Amino acid sequence: MTVHPLLMFPHPGLKTACAPVSSFDENLRLLARDLHETMRAAPGVGIAAAHIGIFSRVTVIELGPETGVLTYINPEITWSSKETLQHVEGSVSMPGATDTVTRPKSIRFRYQDLHGVSHEAEADGFLAICIQHEIDQLDGIFWLQRLSKLKRDRLIKKWEKTKA
């Protein structure tokens, strides 16, 4: 298992939509393990393959022992609730920068597992927020794009000062 270097904001790869996975082999399982190790080292609770410069629809989420490590291949949201939640979000590719994002409280989604088996699932609360955040990244939507222009510009300016 390898901890990979992360693409850091404003790297253009963070705005790249990821291609669907079609090969469910040992390389995919190694990628998932590497993503998990990289996410833990960052640290974070979720990571998409795009964060390490691999533009495949793979994401790993680990919220704690109750959920364990969740790996989603080719995930897509099929339904979102009208009810929303606000939650403070950030990214392993922009450490230390956070802001409040509003997202649907509940979702239904489909995905494949590491063996290519299709699944449908529901999520709500924090898990739903994390899945939506990572699917956005797989679609080339960096979380900052969910903020107003004013909030985004302020956050970027503040973040650039901290890394200078």
Average pLDDT over residues 46-75: 96
66 belongs to the catalytic site: no
Give the integer Cα–Cα distance in Å for 156 and 98.
10
**pTM for this model (two decimals):** 0.96
140, 134 contact by CB (below 8 A): no
| pLDDT-above-70 percentage for the chain | 99
Q: What is the mean pLDDT of residues 88-105?
A: 95
Third-level CATH fold of 12-163: Peptide Deformylase (3.90.45)
What is the arithmetic mean of pLDDT over 66-90? 96
Give residue-wise pLDDT tens across range 28-37. 999 999 999 9
Mean pLDDT on 53-75: 95
Domain boundaries, the chain: 12-163
Whole-angstrom Cα distance, residue 75 to residue 142? Answer: 17
Among 62, 76, 134, 160, the one annotated catalytic: 134
Are the C-beta atoms of residues 56 and 18 closer than 8 Å to each other? yes
